[in-house]
Amino acid sequence: MSRLIIGAMVRTVGAYPSGWRYPGAHRDPRGDAAVLRRTAEVAERARLDYLFFGDWLATGHDLEYRDPYLVARIDPLSAVTYLAALTSRIGLIATANTSYSDPYTLARATASIDLLSGGRAGLNLVTGAEPRAAGNHGRDAHATNETRYDRADEFETVLRRLWDSFEDDAIVADAEAGVYLDPSKLHATDFHGAQLSVTGPLNVARPVQGHLPLVHAGTSPRSRLFAARSADLALVAVSDIHQAAALREELRSLAFESGRDDRTLKVIAPVLPIVGETREHAQAIADELTVLVPVAEDFAGGPPDVFPEQRSIAHLSTLVGVALDGLGPDTVVTPQLAAGFSQLGQELAEIAGERTGRRVGGEAPPTLRHLLVTATVHASMIVGTAQQIAAEFAAWADAEAVDGFNVLSAVQPAQFEAFALGVVPELQRLGVFPTEYEGSTLREHLGLERPANVHLAADAALTLGR
């Protein structure tokens, strides 16, 4: 059975839209420093491979209802720098947007973090999908998908050239001879493309890891190609084990066709586990989270203009194929009502039942809210005990569907700690996760070798070509 990579995607006010409303939840981002510190301590004690920090380059009232964790959050590079000083083994992955970042500045910051953390930094490269980000960065419009990926391709090339500006032994520091630097081992970037032009060299020594592990997520064909060619970790949102296995095979095939060793591409699936002392307890937590999600009909005078359009009974009507006019979100789904549902409606009722324990015709039946939230709040959830969740993870490992999981927590800190202190020991007992760190760098945690310097590789290629 394969060894899983397990990281935590940190969202301090919870990764579920109603997570911040759950009793005992952290809900004020002004107190994020304490939550980040506590999360890092628990995660490192559990031997998680990394903490992952996403990003979003805008904010607005609409995010309050859609994704509250995006309203206000710590800058990812600041977060990992802060945690680098409070931890000693766990990897720390920050996100940067290639559409709006300057490659020299980012290379300098990330190389510095890697050196200061002893080789534990990683970088998630995104191209962006938030139109408001353009205005925030002095641009009239967000670039097209193709243009964004043209820039991302060049950005990745420039980052590696900048990180490799110094050879590992370029700093001689021979005090007796008075020689500090071997100039033959300092390389200019000299990149001039359609999107970027960078001369270099970088004024930071080569990172401990050589190159920081790169992460990428996306669903378009161009994004998958970028991940296959350039990323060490490909984040893929999947609905089941079969889709995951097929997508992993597709990405690895693309990686092989691009000329790289496809085994070096690790496919990671985001997952949101709800952990309880019993399955019924976990379902009760999921049920309360569902009930706390607002829908359009909760607003007496109508929802705010920025409220998610699809989170309404009118939209649910189109999904289940039954007119629900005049019914409120807390209307019970009876067997008579469910009998007229479309196949999708039947599936929504089944998923809601699996997650919350509410079954049509049962003692505690679901409401229309349960079906609507199931349909419109997109999260790959596993609900159960620590043992049940660990068994599900192990099944995915056994089927080689993924190389690991990016774990989200619906409620901070309770659900994160339930996973780290409950599920992780079960994964260790099953033999799919180590009981101790097996290396000191993030690349070693991920089973990746330290790459050769691209400037030396280019020189060697030229020599062979003569």
Mean pLDDT across the stretch 143-150?
A: 88
Domain match, 173 and 308 both: no
At 432, the pLDDT band (50, 70, 90 cuts) reads very high
Domain match, 427 and 391 both: yes
Which residues contribute to the annotated binding site?
Answer: 55, 95, 149, 220
Which pLDDT belongs to residue 465?
55
The gap from C-alpha 443 to its chain's centroid, in whole angstroms, comes to 17
Residue 103 CB-half CA count within 13 A: 25
Domain-located, residue 218:
yes
Q: Which range, of 111-125, 128-142, 384-398, 408-422, averages the lowest pLDDT? A: 128-142
Domain match, 74 and 121 both: yes
Domain-ending residue, one of 349, 376, 403: 376
DSSP state of 260: S
Domain-located, residue 197:
yes
Domain match, 308 and 417 both: no
Domain match, 413 and 434 both: yes
Average per-residue pLDDT for the chain: 95
Domain match, 81 and 122 both: yes
Residue 264: CB atoms within 10 A of its CB come to 15
Domain-located, residue 287:
no
The CATH number linked to 41 is 3.20.20.30
Give 269's strand partners: 405
pLDDT tens digits along 82-135: 999 999 999 999 999 999 999 999 999 999 999 999 999 999 999 987 889 889
* Percent with pLDDT over 90 in the chain: 92
Which pLDDT belongs to residue 130?
80
Domain match, 403 and 363 both: no
pLDDT at 265 exceeding the cut of 70: yes
Domain-located, residue 429:
yes
Domain-ending residue, one of 376, 405, 421: 376
Domain-located, residue 281:
no
Domain-located, residue 100:
yes
Which pLDDT belongs to residue 6?
98
The dihedral of CA 44, 265, 219, 223: what is its sign?
positive
At 291, the pLDDT band (50, 70, 90 cuts) reads very high
Over the range 392-425, which residues count as b (16 or more CB within 10 Å of their CB) and which as e?
Answer: bbbebbeeebbbbbbbbbbbbbbbbbbbbebbbb
The dihedral of CA 199, 201, 204, 210: what is its sign?
positive
Domain-ending residue, one of 376, 393, 424: 376
Domain match, 228 and 161 both: yes
Domain-located, residue 463:
no
Which pLDDT belongs to residue 462?
53
Which pLDDT belongs to residue 227?
97
At 210, the pLDDT band (50, 70, 90 cuts) reads very high
Domain match, 243 and 112 both: yes
| Closest residue by Cα to residue 270 from 372, 409, 398 | 409
Domain match, 184 and 269 both: yes
Q: How far, in Å, CA of 109 to CA of 360, rounded?
A: 54
Q: Six-digit token pair at 311?
A: 């989170």
pLDDT tens digits along 169-205: 999 999 999 999 999 999 999 999 999 999 999 999 9
Question: How many domains is the chain partitioned into structurally?
Answer: 2
At 139, the pLDDT band (50, 70, 90 cuts) reads confident
Which residues contribute to the annotated binding site for FMN?
Answer: 55, 95, 149, 220
Radius of gyration of the chain (CA): 24
Q: How far, in Å, CA of 76 to CA of 210, rounded?
A: 21
Domain match, 204 and 299 both: no
Domain match, 222 and 263 both: yes
- Could you tell me the residue range of the domain that residue 227 belongs to? 5-276+380-458
| Closest residue by Cα to residue 308 from 294, 320, 322 | 294
Domain-located, residue 283:
no
